Structure 1
């Protein structure tokens, strides 16, 4: 099994005829993802590597059964593309755009929750169920990173994901599914909302969480563990340990505010909840051997 998507999930790609959209559509298809259609306004009748293109999402869902959509569109077009997907009844949406206005993200998160849809992102590399399907930007051909296994990964950082997942594989394990929640201040889906999916997945034995300074998502995970909502072993790693106080570091969401969001806050909360915390990526493998 896997979480969110697998090789049977029919996927739509919005923005499929753009440079990035067409590049990753071909790679997703090669990987085994069931990409059934794409959307670019004004390009209906074209195809990308045999994938038919439509003017609108509504036109695509009228012709194909679609359960998930990958948005490869610029930030200014993201709101409209998300609304179009939600209005067409699509329940899983992955948003790669970075820098969507904060008020739009808040409004869209509220709408997605009302529609019982899962929107992942923005500013995410996407999601991948290793060996089965992917929606996003994953160099799956790197066996040292994407070797299938039984360790779930949820992350705020694309670059750290490759480094830490390589450590998981180096230790003799591999990722079951990887979910990038994204690095923007208001993620559409939070870590604590991903945990129940890993909890229910019989093919995930443990979870590695790649966090950062800023926000309270990691503290939310600690609370979920304390409440018994997540019972599998969890290892956390926090990026930004040497960040100056109050300084934004790379991601828009990685800023410490109101006395919360420091590495110390996160490490303390997770440790009290019974999770393990790695001080550096090279500790991930030994910790996994310890708990598994």
Structure 2
């Protein structure tokens, strides 16, 4: 099995006609993902290398049966496009766009949760998802990875790739890899994805890659303690980051003693999660656990 995307995924892309949107859409299709359409109101009726372009999400879903959306729309309009996809009944909306105003993110999250509970949001500001051998939705370099039994969830795109590659070099494959994004209002949390991995028969070990800022990792620790039976290995980026300075992601800022890498590692280790201090150490711990 895998989580969220698989051979039954029917992907449509808002922003398919832009440079980044078309490049990654075609990469996803080349991997084997079933890309059924794209959205651009100004270019409806055209196509991108055979992929039809529609005027809106309702038409796209009606014509193609799209069940997964990828959003490459510029920041001022991205939240509206994601909401339109949810209103059209799309089950999974993956928002790649970064720089979306936090107020727009919060409004989108609350509206989807209240009015469209059948839709799951991933992102914004995320690399997307990969289920090796089945489907790729986003910008994850799929050639690094092979199918296996390690589930990875990460706030950082770059760390998603690095840790996945370290695991691959150690001989492990992945059931699914999910980048949840580093913005203050993520559509899905560590807890949401860890819950899916816990229920997934293919996943035998979960790797959670966090970073400084916020309380998502501490909340995940409490959830893991109460609900997760599978081994979890953690990694926290930012042990040397200075307090009070934003580090790349909008959510990666530490105020006082809250949200530090040390505090997050301590919370995870207190519930039995082994936390590697480097991606290489994470792979080593995973090897020891699965080898045992």
Q: Say yes or no: TM over 0.5.
A: yes
Pairwise CA distance, 1:257:
2.7
Indicate the residue corresponding to 1:52 in structure 2: 52
Check if 1:280 corresponds to 2:282: no
Structure 2 gaps of 5+ residues are: none
Task: Output the CA distance in 2 between the equivalents of 1:44 and 1:55.
Answer: 5
| CA offset digits 1:31-71 (Å, max 9, x no partner) | 11111111111211111121111011111112121111000
Indicate the residue corresponding to 1:267 in structure 2: 265
Check if 1:221 corresponds to 2:220: yes
Give secondary structure in 1 for the equivalent of 2:193. Answer: helix
TM-score (norm 2): 0.96
The 5 A counterparts of 1:1-292 are: 1-114=1-114, 115-116=116-117, 117-141=119-143, 145-227=144-226, 229-257=227-255, 259-292=257-290
Task: Output the CA distance in 1 between the equivalents of 2:162 and 2:135.
Answer: 21
CA RMSD of aligned residues (A): 1.1
Pairwise CA distance, 1:258:
5.6
Give secondary structure in 1 for the equivalent of 2:17. Answer: coil
Task: Output the CA distance in 2 between the equivalents of 1:179 and 1:162.
Answer: 11
Task: Output the CA distance in 2 between the equivalents of 1:289 and 1:138.
Answer: 23
Task: Output the CA distance in 1 between the equivalents of 2:145 and 2:170.
Answer: 13
Contact kept, 8 Å, 2:141 with 2:161, in 1: the verdict is no
Equivalent residue pairs, number: 288
Q: Spell out structure 1 runs of 4+ moving beyond 3 A.
A: none
